[in-house]
Homo-oligomer: A and B are copies of this chain.
Amino acid sequence: MDIPLSKLPRRRLLSATAIASVAASISKDLHAEKPKKSKTKGTISKRQTILFQGDSITDAGRDKKNQVPNLQKSLGRGYAWMAASNLLIANPELSLNVHNRGISGNKVHQLSARWDKDCIDLKPDLVSILIGVNDIWHGLNGRYDGTVETYENDYLKLIDRTRKALPNSKLVVCEPFVLKCGAVNDKWFPEFDKYRASALKVATFNNCIFVPFQSMFDEAVKYAPPNHWAGDGVHPSFHGSSLMAHFWLNSVNIS
């Protein structure tokens, strides 16, 4: 969103009125010029629908009673909203529709159970999925008997089903991640790394875009402690969410 500086006058003695007029025209240009030259942005085209799916990290307190595309209340307060808001605000001429259907506590099989209603029926052009932390966490605390094989098989089936129902849609698989603090202790490892490897396998076998969130957070802890990014090690803070939004947009090539 660079200002076209070449268009601006270079004279020293521009009047306040002229400057205000330039400011107004630039502001207008920012949005008005784009329709002529950009009907696509990276992987996204005009009037496309984007869907974020996952668990509490994606849900992030969204209003499930009013599932209106693009509005903050319906998109929550997490990385999905932060990525969506940047995309919508930076590219109003694309007239995108962004949905969030993440639900706290979900594992892959729970996404599968509601996939027709909460994915296929929305006919998304791009589906982004972040799932996995509950698949291991609920096992660690004795609330679930699924293994990494369950996770991988369920996930492969879900992606296969999505490819068949939405053959032209782009799929994004986000790497599950944890920070080593809060609820995340040594018991998580090395098992957790197998879940990450499974997510990568799912992405690789199906030509999905892969967003390397764990690699990102592994680098992030060099600049701030783990609890800056996620207090309980699982749910990202606003800072963690902002970083995820940046990386998501970069990975999907629509920043």
Contact = CB atoms under 8 A, between A and B. Distances in A.
Interface stretch (A83-91, A111-119, A127-135, A181-189): A83-91
A245 B8 CA distance: 25
A3 B90 contact: no
A198 B246 contact: no
Contacts of A88: 223
Interface residues of A, number: 67
Interface of A is mostly: helix
A67 interface: no
Contact of A253 (B2, B30, B71): B2
A251 interface: yes
List 8 tightest A-B contacts by C-beta distance, closest first: A238-B238, A72-B224, A242-B242, A86-B246, A19-B197, A8-B204, A255-B255, A3-B210
Interface of A: 1-3, 5, 8-10, 12, 14, 16, 19-20, 22-23, 26-27, 30-31, 70-73, 77, 81-82, 85-86, 88-90, 92, 193-194, 196-198, 200-201, 203-205, 207, 209-210, 212, 214-216, 218-220, 223-224, 228, 238-239, 241-243, 245-247, 249-251, 253, 255
